[in-house]
Structure 1
């Protein structure tokens, strides 16, 4: 005999599943306040899912142990990612003194210790050596490629990783607070600077060793932490998520805008250069963007009075 089927349980062939939301064209920027423990890849997936977006990417990886500003581009905004990644960045980070780790943060294993602890005056006296254009060796647990392989993958496999020093720009480095065991700093820096390397090198120079205990990014290019939305906001409802979407041209606010008429816009859309007219029209410019009736048309350069399009937008 067959057992009676409960009315609340459907046979396998009768079970129904909610269809996945259809992917759609969404264009703009979401400035996410990424929480500790989330990878940048996961963060992109969260934003993409919140908007059912077809295309998304981030402007600069933020380590899982770090929190703070992660700009995520949707749709046509992905064409403006380089303008954000090339921008200045700001961080607040805490250095724990007395030990060095192989990852230069709390995730790694301790490879050396010291009983020495720095006083605030010693740290302040050292900071000028860490500002301006300096030479910095990236952490061996970094995304830099060696013969096509990521340095962190080689390091995790136990291979010896040797990275060469390279110039980086640190605009400002100042103390926020200091205690016997830790010091919290604010840093403003250029592309390619590793905060973990700053902590490592400060500890070595002070003779007390150190590693990053907490790290929060507060600015990337034109975006600031005040612009950021939380993961909870994105997950709450489509209406709440929509409030976090910034226009595509928000990424371009640090470069000049050139307003053009409709005919010129059509030429740019076809990839053709246009002659800029008017008394205030630039003659030469390395990075500009063009709009027509407030709509973003293209990014490019101005060469001998002509706007030369590099990327064209379909908005």
Structure 2
């Protein structure tokens, strides 16, 4: 009987909030970070297009178990729309499919923004990761197929015109999961009768992480010059945010070491005390400031669903 293969890399865990450079893919970024940190596991919480820059939260090790909670968080983007051309990809990368000499005024732009605020229906771009009959829309689009992508509900919490000139307009949008900013540019252009596409896009916020958490890739790669591996890895680890920070929107319970051991064994613990939560579909437990488990609260107990190494 063969022995289980030992995972390659370090069992390092935490969140690295990468300031992804322009023209660098999300998958490429995750691979680079995994290699730099010599991590066993890595994953990201929401793809950023190669032509977009900004916040790409990357989870290492056990933090990958908390990716869904960050994926569901609100996001803020700053983006620029260039008027006069609609493109296959709805950004600079695609081929021009429609053009117009018309240019909107700032007042005309402001007049339509209310229609894109709140819960709206949005059709994702042809070049998107949406699955159509089991295939990614972008794969079909690259093969020259035009597919019918159904509209879906997304939520825009805030949409602001920052500035404009004759050919471009700059916006900031705060939105929920699944919103395509490229689709906003496409739809703005169509409604204004001038066509448009994204010419610059930057993500500045992914709840619960903010701009102060951003780490430029150059700051990480600069540490490669440290020859001593232990020293280099320690310097890299200093950039990590604790795994539990991803769960700040959930109720928290603080437990002792004995309770932490029971949870890590998969057993429920009894909650005592006047301030103990009565019920919660999801909550998280910490001991000594470290995440122990995500679980549910009911009947005076915390029942673990996912546990984390000590």
TM-score, structure 1 as length reference: 0.90
1:193 aligns with 2:179: yes
Q: Distance in 1 between matches of 2:174 and 2:308?
A: 31
Q: CA deviation at 1:38?
A: 0.6
1:116-153 CA-to-partner distances (Å, cap 9, x unmatched) read: 11111111111110000000000010001112111000
1:163 aligns with 2:149: yes
Q: Which residue of 1 aligns with 2:29?
A: 43
Q: Distance in 1 between matches of 2:144 and 2:300?
A: 55
Q: Which one of 221, 227, 240 corresponds to residue 245 of structure 1?
A: 240
Q: Which residue of 1 aligns with 2:255?
A: 260
Instruction: Report which stretch shifted further, 152-161 or 251-260.
Output: 251-260
1:182 aligns with 2:177: no
Q: Which residue of 2 aligns with 1:210?
A: 196
Instruction: Report which stretch shifted further, 283-292 or 214-223.
Output: 283-292
Q: CA deviation at 1:68?
A: 0.3
1:231-284 CA-to-partner distances (Å, cap 9, x unmatched) read: 111111125423311111121122221101233222211222222211111112
Q: Which has the larger radius of gyration?
A: 1
1:98 aligns with 2:84: yes
Q: Which residue of 2 aligns with 1:150?
A: 136
Helix, strand or coil at the partner of 2:140: helix
8 Å CA contact 1:233–1:241 kept in 2: the answer is: no
8 Å CA contact 1:33–1:225 kept in 2: the answer is: no
8 Å CA contact 1:34–1:69 kept in 2: the answer is: yes
How many residues in Structure 1 have an aligned counterpart in Structure 2? 294
Q: Which residue of 2 aligns with 1:8?
A: none
1:312 aligns with 2:298: no
Helix, strand or coil at the partner of 2:258: helix
* Structure 2 segments unaligned to the other structure (5+ residues): 1-7, 224-231
* Structure 1 segments unaligned to the other structure (5+ residues): 1-21
Q: Which residue of 1 aligns with 2:123?
A: 137
TM-score, structure 2 as length reference: 0.92
Cα RMSD (Å): 1.3
